[in-house]
Structure 1
């Protein structure tokens, strides 16, 4: 399923499962020394009882996902959006973006999360049944303005099929070698072996991948 808006996001547990699958595959495809080329990185225990995911398209746009005991918050930034703080002379965030965000979730957005670089914010407290998003005041002259939500949420690849389609474009010739059956095993969180890693990317150091996957909690042992 392609995610077009926040109402289509899966529950936080499923969302984290999808994101960690994508992060595992990025680890298989790209050396840690070149992690800036990865679109997604998963940071287990980024802070106490908090897991963080960052999706960065390398073109100035990003999303942070923070999973905590209080709930989940997603902060997105589309640098070309009219709602970007850099699109106005005062460089202020658009009014309304952080309105009504629960204090416990808002406190997760510290300086390292680039709190003021924001064009949309989505959250879901532990007691919420649905995802929420504040109404944002778009300048009168830009009623067709876009906060980048649909564009960035489209980087959440909910299935092995969608990841393979994306990877064959992103990784070009290297991506053309990727076979769907192997990627499905990653999305199902089945046991990842050195053989599976080599089948997805024969150029990668399997020991280095295993170490990374253990660090992010994707696998416990081989």
Structure 2
């Protein structure tokens, strides 16, 4: 593969102690299929609630690449995550723009990309998730198909193991329960939603015209045809 600019110019450094928050995140993350289903539910719920795709927080693209799917989050304030699902494994990266682990706070001086398994390096070096030739990552984990757990990534040496990297809050909607997401929607979008309707979508049950109208009286099931196809959500009833 062709190495990105931020990879080619990073000097070799000794390994740092694994970041505590990233280790804890790796222990909390569900298996890839559960993560994939949750991410699809979050994306579909946003598609129902928000017409403009560019204004949504969560998205899922089943056609991201050849045999690859991408789940993503962008809060519009500079914080984001993405999860690349490939036939051989999964690459997860998060970016807290205020974290000391951001490359703008201090260069990633550990050549971390070489520590990522070769089959996932292309996903880890994806140009879409860089800015000014720097990787938009403050925390990352990977998991190959045959693995029984997630592996946190060392991004930098010479920093304390308890340096905050965004792990404790970036992925809350992926890890949280349905009730927590209802509270998130009510606070973030200032709307009232029926918890049962939210659970219906987050558990990937087929949509109906009535459900869509209850969640957003300005949306219709026909409006969601392209979103349903892109997200890979089950067909409507």
Is TM > 0.5 for Structure 1 vs Structure 2? yes
What is the RMSD computed on CA atoms of the aligned residues? 2.0
| 1:78 aligns to 2:78 (yes or no) | no
Tell me what 1:10 maps to. 30
Where do 5+ consecutive residues of structure 1 fail to align?
A: none
Q: Give the count of matched residue pairs.
A: 210
CA distance in 1, matches of 2:37, 2:162: 34
Aligned to 2:7: none
State the 1:107 CA deviation: 1.2
Superposition deviation, residue 221 in structure 1: 4.5
| Segment drifting more, 194-203 vs 212-221 | 212-221
Q: Residue 206 of structure 2 contacts residue 235 of structure 2 at CA under 8 Å; is this kept in 1? A: no
Identify the residue that residue 126 of structure 1 maps to in structure 2.
Answer: 145
**Deviation per residue, 1:87-123 (Å, 9 max, x gap):** 13xxx33526435210111112321232712111101
3-state SS of the aligned residue for 1:107? helix
Give, in whole Å, the separation in 1 of the partners of 2:201 and 2:101. 36
With over 3 angstroms needed to count, the CA separation of the structure-2 counterparts of 1:94 and 1:83, relative to structure 1, is farther
Name stretches of at least 5 consecutive residues in structure 2 with no aligned partner: 1-23
Q: TM-score, normalised by structure 2?
A: 0.81
Q: Find 1:24's aligned residue among 30, 44, 56.
A: 44
The C-alpha deviation readout for 1:105-150, integer Å capped at 9, x for no partner, is 111232123271211110110111000012344545x665211111
**Contact 2:209–2:220, Cα closer than 8 Å, also in 1:** no
Q: Higher relative contact order at CA 8 Å, sep ≥6: structure 1 or structure 2?
A: 2
Q: How does 1:190-209 map to 2 (within 5 A)?
A: 190-209=205-224
- Alignment partners' CA distance in 2, 1:68 and 1:143: 30
Q: Displaced runs of 4+ in structure 1, greater than 4 A?
A: none
The more displaced of 201-210 and 5-14 is 201-210
Deviation by residue 1:62-82 (Cα, 9 ceiling, x = unmatched): 111000101101011111111
